[in-house]
Amino acid sequence: MGQKVNPYGFRLGITTDWKSRWFEERHYREFVVEDWKIRDYLMKQLEAAAVSRIEASELKEVVITNSIPMSEAAKQCKRIKSLSIAQLMANAIRSIHEETSVSTLFV
């Protein structure tokens, strides 16, 4: 079976142009700051909503990793269980350093 590639990627810069138009060279810093503020606002507004949906659902447990900090609302939810990935990351770093396969960690 051959590898499938989206034909749009072959035409970029030849017969078609990029779909994305968000980049503005002169005002890039202001746009990044604005995006950051919007993201922070939405995350603060939506984090409690997501936790309340988990509590209202029929799920027994939602398991997440501790790769990013949990919100206070998520910490108080009894259905959310956080697992540490510290040992997995340590083993991956060691395997990379020793130039051995990392894939064995996920089998």
Task: Give pLDDT tens digits for 81-97.
Answer: 999 999 999 999 999 99
For all residues of the chain together, what is the average pLDDT?
Answer: 81
**Rounded-to-integer distance, Cα 35 and Cα 106, Å:** 35
Structure tokens at 100: 């051995």
Who has greater pLDDT, 46 or 74?
A: 74
pLDDT digits (tens, 9 = 90+) for 26-36: 777 888 888 88
- Is the whole model's pTM more than 0.75, yes or no? no
By CB neighbour count within 10 A (0-12 exposed, 13-18 middle, 19+ buried), where does 51 fall? Answer: buried
Token digits of residue 87: 């040992």
Average pLDDT over residues 54-70: 88
Alpha-carbon torsion (29, 37, 76, 79), positive or negative: negative
